[in-house]
Structure 1
């Protein structure tokens, strides 16, 4: 299901990509939100975010990775799927979504070109999101089992969703440099969540590696050698204040995994139950 989102005031279609501060449902940024244009600026702006609202706003306007910026905006203007031809596209990085005070953090890979890059909300508007939110609903974290637009009324309770890389990458493969640059946003996510965080769910090996690398960078105790990823894998992390955090791995909710049966609903439900 796709829902055109006219401007709430003028009724006109939003331009693509969507500029900050134009009234898009869930847009955390304003015209005055500082924009990171280099990796050094990402590190500085991430570290200076006082809370998740400010962090989300700064993430949502980031322009530090030229290849990713060019790709996400190309898709937003010229790369639309025919079924979404009448839809405005977000065309910006995907901010975090969910409960800012949640005790659980989900770390995904990156936005989908016609999913988050279209709707502006993590795992919204694609088949991966259909699987994830249905499972979170069954687990008691999501208010509804479906997610199709940023204004669809979905709410998360006790859980927040972020990604290792915040822009849709070509062929779903971010470069090492892009992953390192975006890692600063995840570092701040962990720091802000640390006082209450109980567990993390890493979707796929990239989410797993990103969570471990970020935990080390912010001074948490991480087992050595590095825990190996696998579906159902677990690792015990300890924050710099001595809180234990349980990292749980899951195969990613990609169509490649769900269509082939590599990941089933029962398997996903089982790891979510551990959170």
Structure 2
């Protein structure tokens, strides 16, 4: 399986060794599912986009399997449906990397690029991966709005953009302007658990992207 990143020079190597626990899980997955992606997941979307969506990490049955961010699991179903509804995507999402989905003015990144056990990266793993998130942010010349999905993504985005966490605490729909002028908008992660418990509704999630789009004109 070969997937081309729109910002290839900012990506982690396929056998990135920085996090031993994640590297070990990667090897286990390769042995168990040799036809899966099983590697750091690249960015997906428009490299000239003005909105960057930053997720937590690949899901085992989602991006770790398919190799495309948020593709193949519940979180992707919700995210891509909202992007299509708000005009930030076109085509059709069919939960596979070779479908006809195209993102418009938006690119998707992850705070942690490899699958973590139980979908919970350790703080050190998130810290290790910030160098790739920083490289990605630097490679996006037009990105002004960063939508952080969940607190781990929020912390990484704020630090990468030069902000201070005590002055930028995570809260759904919170908005923070970074020293560079870039804006961070927080959202609860579009995970199945958050949706099923009612912590995040479709309407709440759609409002996040409506806010991001509105801020592009300010």
The normalised TM-score by structure 2 is 0.90
Shift in Å, 1:147: 4.1
Q: What residue number does 1:54 align with?
A: 9
Alignment partner for residue 57 of structure 2, among 110, 116, 124?
A: 110
Alignment partner for residue 229 of structure 1, among 131, 150, 170?
A: 170
Q: What residue number does 2:192 align with?
A: 255
CA contact (8 A) 2:57 2:116 kept: yes
CA contact (8 A) 1:129 1:147 kept: no
Q: Deviations over 1:124-157 (max 9, x none)?
A: 0001100000001111111145241111121111
Judged with a 3 Å threshold, the aligned counterparts in structure 2 of structure 1 residues 68 and 230 are, in CA distance, closer, same or farther, namely same
Q: What residue number does 2:210 align with?
A: 273
Q: What residue number does 1:211 align with?
A: 157
| 1:231 counterpart SS class | coil
Shift in Å, 1:223: 5.4
1:1-275 maps to which residues of 2 (within 5 A)? 24-28=1-5, 52-56=7-11, 58-78=12-32, 88-144=35-91, 146-193=93-140, 195-216=141-162, 222=163, 225-239=166-180, 244-275=181-212
Shift in Å, 1:25: 4.4
Mapped partners of 2:196, 2:75: distance in 1: 11
Higher RCO, Cα 8 Å, sep 6+: 2
Judged with a 3 Å threshold, the aligned counterparts in structure 2 of structure 1 residues 137 and 74 are, in CA distance, closer, same or farther, namely same
Mapped partners of 2:78, 2:147: distance in 1: 15
| 2:124 counterpart SS class | helix
Mapped partners of 1:254, 1:271: distance in 2: 15
Shift in Å, 1:75: 2.7
CA contact (8 A) 1:107 1:161 kept: yes
Structure 2: 5+ residue runs without aligned partners?
213-218
Largest Rg, 1 or 2: 1
Mapped partners of 2:15, 2:97: distance in 1: 17
Mapped partners of 1:132, 1:60: distance in 2: 25
| 1:90 counterpart SS class | coil
Shift in Å, 1:77: 3.1
* Higher mean displacement: 258-267 or 65-74: 65-74
| 1:225 counterpart SS class | helix
Structure 1: 5+ residue runs without aligned partners?
1-23, 29-50, 81-86, 217-221
Shift in Å, 1:262: 1.0
Shift in Å, 1:61: 4.2
The normalised TM-score by structure 1 is 0.72
Judged with a 3 Å threshold, the aligned counterparts in structure 2 of structure 1 residues 231 and 147 are, in CA distance, closer, same or farther, namely farther
Mapped partners of 1:147, 1:130: distance in 2: 9
| 1:230 counterpart SS class | coil
